[in-house]
Structure formats: structure tokens, C-alpha cells
Amino acid sequence: MSAQESVEEKHQAICFVSSTAPDAEAARLKLIDRYGDIPFEEADVIVALGGDGTMLQTLHRTMSAPKPVYGMNRGSLGFLMNDFSERGLRARLAVAQPSIIHPLLMRTRDVHDQEMTARAINEVSLWRQKYQAAKIEILVDDRVRVAELVADGVLVATPAGSTAYNLSASGPILPWGSRLMALTPICVFRPRRWRGALLPEGAKVAFEILEHDKRPVAAAADHIEIRDVMRVAVETDFATSLILLHDAGHPFDERTLREQFGV
């Protein structure tokens, strides 16, 4: 058996998932009719139809047992998605290039002394729950770097997530595959001129919530939200490797460059 045949054989068992959008669901049914459908847990590869939100949800479903996920854009945003086509899917999967994503691991402790963990592919974000600005102490590798951040919030973003909420908060776009995290404040009031930092992916970031009874703060790992936190710790989960497939000739680093130049 040739190497090409071996790769194609690996991707024979396909599971199709989609968002609830009519275009995405219609595409899923057409693809199932053409290629068949395997249950999620038994599939060799997952094909996600929708936008970037669908891709993130699908990757989260593979968190405990990572398997390749190939997205096709049937949504409004498609930074993480490939172009949609009903034809030639197995051939595209055979030559698709894998990118490995290590998610962020968030550990929280709330005002009731309850501890929770969650993982994020895009970002871990903290934000104020009430009208008053949050006050947050920021530590990097157990060293205080910002004694009192007064802001709507703060986030830690991966390269995969740097073009999402992080970019909206005027954070930097990180090249795909760079071994960095973006630490970005949200609507910062003090320190006046602080606009965030770039950190190595191995850094351990901690946030201590100041005046938490008066200025409550919520934290979220992508879509998983925890309210009334007192402490949030964030680090890269190198033990988890998520597999994102993309078409040859359309790598994410090129898309990231286009974002930086606004084209």
C-alpha cells in the first residue's frame, strides 16, 4: 500500500457535524448522502460545517480523545475553516495539513471556595460583572507584574484565538504556531499606558481579584463561564494536543499575515 493510499484509508470513517444554521445543516445532509456518516466516537476524522464557533465546539468535543477535525465554511466567520465543496472530500482529507493546538488550562476558585477547571482554545477572559470596573492583580510565574489593573477585564489568548476577542480588545495578532500567549487588558483605565504583554507559551499567569465583594468578576474559557471568581490561574496544557486539518496551500500563517495587513 502506498503512503497516499494509507492516508486515504485513515480518513475513510468520517463523522459530519454542523451548526444549526440552515446552510450548514443542508450541507451536512448532502455530504452524508455522498460519503456516509460514522458516529462521532468511532470516526477517524470529524468534518465540521459552519463557522469558527462550530470549529471551536467540535474541537472541545475531542478534548478528552483528540482526533483530526477538518472544517468547511458554512457560517459567517471562517478563519479556521476551509472552503466548502461537496466534491473530492476524501482527496482533500488525504493531503490536508495538520496543525497542533495546545489549549489553555484555566483553574478558578470562587467566593464559595469552589474550584473548577476548564480548557480554552481561543482565550481565557475575565470581565466585570457589575457597573464598577474590576480591580485585578496580575502575576506571571508567581511574580507580581501589575499590582492593580483597573479595567473592564483582561484576557490571555493563544495564537489561534489572537484574531478573535483578543483582536477586538486591541491585542496583537500572533503568528500561527508561535510559542506565545497574548496578555491583553479590556478597556483599561489604570495603569494608563499599559496595553498588555507577550508571554512565552510556558508562562503561568494568575489573576487575583481585588475587592471581589464590591467588584465581582466572571471568568470564561471560550464558552465555559464561571462567575464570582476570586482567583484564576492560566497555563498552556501541553499534555493535550488538538488536531486541526487545513487544505494544502492555505496554511493559517498566511491567513494571519493577511489579517495583520488588513487584506
Give the model confidence (pLDDT) of 19-44 as tens digits. Answer: 999 999 999 999 999 999 999 999 99
pLDDT of 4 above 80:
no
Predicted confidence at residue 3, as pLDDT, reads 46
| CA pair distance 88, 93, nearest whole angstrom | 9
| CA pair distance 156, 185, nearest whole angstrom | 9
Instruction: Answer yes or no: are the C-beta atoms of 154 and 240 closer than 8 Å.
Output: no
Predicted confidence at residue 1, as pLDDT, reads 42
Which whole number is the average pLDDT over 141-147? Answer: 98
Helix (H) or strand (E) holding 59: helix 52-61
Architecture of domain 3-102+241-260: 3-Layer(aba) Sandwich (3.40)
List Cβ neighbours of 198 (8 Å cut-off, separation of 6 or more).
Answer: 172, 174, 180, 181, 182, 183
Rounded to two decimals, what is the model's pTM? 0.89
Predicted confidence at residue 251, as pLDDT, reads 61
Which whole number is the average pLDDT over 94-106? Answer: 94
62-101 core/surface letters (b: 16 or more CB in 10 A; e: else): beeeeebbbbbbbbeebbbbbeeeeeebeebbbebeebeb
pLDDT of 225 above 70:
yes
CATH 3.40.50.10330 in the chain is located at 3-102+241-260
219-255 core/surface letters (b: 16 or more CB in 10 A; e: else): bbbbeeebebbbbbbbbbbeebebbbbbeeeeebeee
Which whole number is the average pLDDT over 222-232? Answer: 97
C-alpha grid cell for residue 62?
475531542
Give the model confidence (pLDDT) of 164-202 as tens digits. Answer: 999 999 999 998 888 999 999 999 999 999 999 999 999
Active site residues: 52
Give the model confidence (pLDDT) of 200-221 as tens digits. Answer: 999 999 999 999 999 999 999 9
Distances (CA, A) of 220 to 54, 123, 145, 151: 18, 8, 22, 16
pLDDT of 135 above 50:
yes
C-alpha grid cell for residue 166?
483578543
Give the model confidence (pLDDT) of 50-84 as tens digits. Answer: 999 999 999 999 998 989 999 999 987 678 899 99
Domain 104-236: CATH superfamily is Probable inorganic polyphosphate/atp-NAD kinase; domain 2 (2.60.200.30)
Predicted confidence at residue 80, as pLDDT, reads 87
Predicted confidence at residue 259, as pLDDT, reads 72
Predicted confidence at residue 39, as pLDDT, reads 96
DSSP class of residue 140 equals E
Per-chain mean pLDDT for the chain: 92
